Copies of this chain bind each other. A is one copy, B any other.
Amino acid sequence: MAVMKFNRPPVANPGSVMSPCAACSVRDLSICGVLDETDLRKMAAIAHNLRFSPHDPIIDEGESANFLFNITGGTVRLYKLLPDGRRQVTGFLTSGDFLGIALNENYAYSAEAVDDVTVCRFVRGKLENLLDELPHLEKRLLGLASNELVQAQDQMVLLGRKTAKEKVVSFLLALSRRQEEVGGVATPVMLPMSRADIADYLGLTTETVSRTFSSLKRSQAIRIEEGGKVALPDFEALETIAEGY
């Protein structure tokens, strides 16, 4: 699995001075994809590998934003809370995603491990210095930010204007696309997060998410497989539902 590959030392070349990142399985997905061996070593020099267990906090909204992260394995949930406890999950990050673009002086949201998570952690100031040295990297970051903004727009459409059914189907399709992007299959889709996480991501309640899954099963738009994986038998049909034709 990705995590193991990432942590594996470069055994094929034991005496070499290769950067540990050279063996990183998610490198091409991550911001590191644009770096050559020289730059990778600079990056590696300021990176620390960490693991988190399910439900561990990774960053806390409002705290001084001292660290940035590259997710190398597992799933992370980002969320914000209202004072009375209402929660909005603003996104899920997986292998290759970068955590920490959206920040000012302090973190704008909290992040927790959904399952077993591995990350590369960077001290903010050090990464910023490196950015000055590596314009490639800065461009890549800008591109990432741009992509995230596009995704954020889509999520606004979902939250503001879609029905429960459209929301759930859109979510499943997005997961499927992401799974393909990181080199996996389009179906079945893995759901490492709970119904409550999904609900808080889609602006629904757990009950409504559950009912919607059941209804989609009944109409055979989806099938539940062992391990809670969700099979998507007809992408065309699902796209139609998701966009509300």
Contacts and interface: CB of A to CB of B under 8 A. Distances in A.
A180 interface: no
A78 B157 CA distance: 12
A157 B108 contact: no
Chain copies in the assembled complex: 2
A28 interface: no
Q: Is the interface of A mostly helix, strand, loop or mixed?
A: helix
Nearest to A145: B145
Contacts of A102: 146, 149-150, 152-153
- Which of A147, A148, A161 lies at the interface centre, i.e. has the most chain B CB atoms within 10 A of its CB? A161
B146 A88 contact: no
B150 A152 contact: no
A149 B147 contact: no
Contacts of A103: 146, 150
A-side interface size class? 35 or more
A223 interface: no
A102 B104 CA distance: 18
B86 A161 contact: yes
Given A103-B146, A104-B150, A80 B157 contact: yes
Interface string A70-103: 0000000010101110111010000000000111
Minimum-distance CB pairs A-B, first 10 = A160-B203, A102-B149, A152-B152, A145-B145, A159-B159, A88-B157, A108-B150, A86-B161, A88-B160, A159-B160
17 contacts: A80-B153, A80-B156, A82-B243, A83-B245, A101-B145, A102-B146, A102-B152, A103-B146, A104-B146, A104-B150, A132-B135, A152-B155, A152-B156, A155-B156, A159-B203, A161-B200, A161-B203
